[in-house]
């Protein structure tokens, strides 16, 4: 025991041990409600497309759940849309705010604007935009974003007092269209363009094929048709989709026949602009209505580009141009990147000026647009109309 206990005179080693106090935090939750809570809330958020959403919710107490489950009005959403439609730009001061060079580029534009008027096409356009917002409010990805809703500053109907030349004048931004194909001029096609979102090998402007060289996208469309027909034959189409699938097959057949018979503009090579599809339907009712094939002058800053109306697009947006024209204005433009985001582009369309549809002849387009500009006072001193080069002309072989 003595050995175990040790001698009282021997030195002892004492180890200090820190004793920590453990404090456990107990969260006190708010008391449970003893009856129904009348809940009201207002929330504000901004969607990806820049639209601000203000939601208000009011909760009331109803009947038992087994009853309310069958009450169609017990769980509903009421949408109140607050939409401000812009007033049209109708004066030279307002137009000059988007392009200070406009008066120097077109010396007679002030006289034309003073004698012109806001077009009913402007009001119709914003009526269509507003209607689309209401129709697609439950599909927010289909609602025009803030940028595309406010894409048009003005649409004016102008007429020169002496020549009586009419002008459909539109002020807006510029988006890019990459559509179109032509086996006669371009037997092979850039897959980057052909596989871009919403690409179609057709344009509204087309003409009879001149060679036997097939459209470069024909085989792709024929494969789509074969696949769709095979799915229908093998019974792989749901009953709910049967009608739409058959319609898809009919559409593919019609498009294939069109590709075999006609050629189209090529957005990456041909300078053209796009109008909403509904506008051309007014050609018999309005003398200023633009139509496919009409000649146009596109003005950005102090540059003027000849073009034609080559295609129709969505009903609710304006300001689209071919990739060739877009890249001339801004080399960074792509099918996914617009060349001009602000409302700085002036589109002058000369209604009723179209010629019989044929393969693009840039020399002729230049002469025609130049003559039409002369009929409204011509270009200002030192200003020149852009001359397009034909990149698809085959060089003649010199032996």
pLDDT tens by residue, the chain, 399 residues: 455 555 555 556 566 666 666 667 777 777 877 877 777 777 777 776 677 888 888 888 888 888 988 998 888 888 788 889 999 999 999 999 999 999 999 999 999 999 999 999 999 999 999 999 888 887 777 788 889 999 999 999 999 999 999 999 999 999 999 999 999 999 887 776 767 777 899 999 999 999 999 999 999 999 999 999 998 888 888 888 889 999 999 999 999 999 999 999 999 999 999 999 999 999 999 999 999 999 999 999 999 999 999 999 999 999 999 999 999 999 999 988 999 999 999 999 999 999 999 999 999 999 999 999 999 999 999 999 999 999 987 644 444
Q: Tell me, what's the pLDDT at 192?
A: 66
Rounded Cα–Cα distance for residues 296 and 321 (Å): 11
Q: Are 329 and 339 in contact (CB under 8 A)?
A: yes
Which parts of the chain are beta strand (E)? Answer: 40-46, 52-58, 117-118, 152-159, 166-177, 206-208, 262-264, 272-276, 295-300, 303-313, 320-322, 340-349
Q: Tell me, what's the pLDDT at 7?
A: 57
Q: Would the CA dihedral through 188, 389, 109, 289 be positive or negative?
A: negative
Query: CB-based contacts of 286: which residues, under 8 Å, 6+ apart?
Result: 120, 121
Read off the pTM: 0.84
Q: Tell me, what's the pLDDT at 19?
A: 62
Q: Tell me, what's the pLDDT at 9?
A: 59
Rounded Cα–Cα distance for residues 52 and 47 (Å): 6
Beta strand 272-276 pairing with 303-313: parallel
Q: Tell me, what's the pLDDT at 17?
A: 63
Radius of gyration for the alpha carbons in the chain, expressed in angstroms and rounded: 33
Q: Tell me, what's the pLDDT at 236?
A: 82
Query: CB-based contacts of 377: which residues, under 8 Å, 6+ apart?
Result: 106, 107, 108, 109, 111, 112, 160
Query: CB-based contacts of 72: which residues, under 8 Å, 6+ apart?
Result: none
């Amino acid at each position: 025991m003595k050995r175990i206990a040790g001698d009282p005179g021997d030195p002892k080693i004492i180890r200090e041990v820190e004793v920590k106090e453990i404090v456990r935090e107990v969260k006190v939750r708010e008391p449970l409600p003893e009856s129904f809570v009348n809940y009201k809330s207002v929330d504000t958020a901004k969607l990806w497309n820049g639209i601000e959403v203000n939601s208000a919710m009011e909760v009331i107490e109803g009947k038992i759940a087994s009853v309310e489950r069958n009450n169609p009005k017990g769980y509903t959403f009421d949408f109140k849309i607050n939409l401000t439609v812009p007033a049209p730009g109708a004066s030279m001061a307002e137009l000059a705010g988007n392009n200070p060079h406009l008066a120097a580029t077109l010396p007679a534009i002030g006289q034309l604007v003073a004698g012109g008027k806001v077009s009913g096409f402007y009001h119709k356009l914003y009526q269509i935009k507003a209607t689309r917002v209401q129709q697609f409010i439950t599909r927010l990805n289909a609602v025009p974003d803030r940028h595309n809703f406010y894409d048009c500053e003005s649409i004016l109907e102008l007429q020169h007092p002496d020549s009586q030349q009419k002008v459909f004048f539109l002020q807006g931004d510029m988006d890019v269209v990459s559509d179109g194909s032509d086996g006669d001029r371009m037997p092979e096609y850039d897959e980057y363009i052909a596989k871009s979102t919403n690409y179609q090998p057709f344009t509204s402007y087309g003409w009879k094929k001149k060679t036997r060289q097939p459209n470069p996208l024909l085989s792709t469309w024929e494969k789509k048709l074969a696949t769709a027909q095979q799915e229908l034959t093998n019974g792989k189409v749901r009953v709910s989709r049967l009608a739409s699938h058959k319609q898809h097959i009919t559409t593919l057949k019609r498009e294939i026949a069109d590709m075999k018979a006609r050629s189209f503009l090529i957005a990456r090579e041909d300078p053209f602009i796009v109008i909403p599809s509904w506008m051309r339907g007014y050609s018999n009712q309005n003398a200023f209505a633009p139509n496919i094939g009409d000649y146009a002058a596109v003005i950005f800053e102090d540059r003027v580009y000849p073009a034609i109306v080559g295609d129709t697009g969505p009903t609710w947006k304006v300001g689209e141009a071919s990739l060739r024209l877009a890249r001339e204005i801004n080399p960074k433009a792509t099918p996914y990147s617009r060349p001009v985001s602000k409302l700085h582009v002036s589109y002058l369309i000369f209604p009723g000026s179209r010629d019989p549809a044929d393969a693009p002849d840039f020399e002729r387009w230049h002469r025609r647009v130049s003559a039409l500009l002369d009929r409204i006072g011509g270009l200002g001193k030192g200003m020149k109309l852009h001359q397009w080069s034909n990149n698809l002309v085959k060089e003649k072989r010199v032996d």
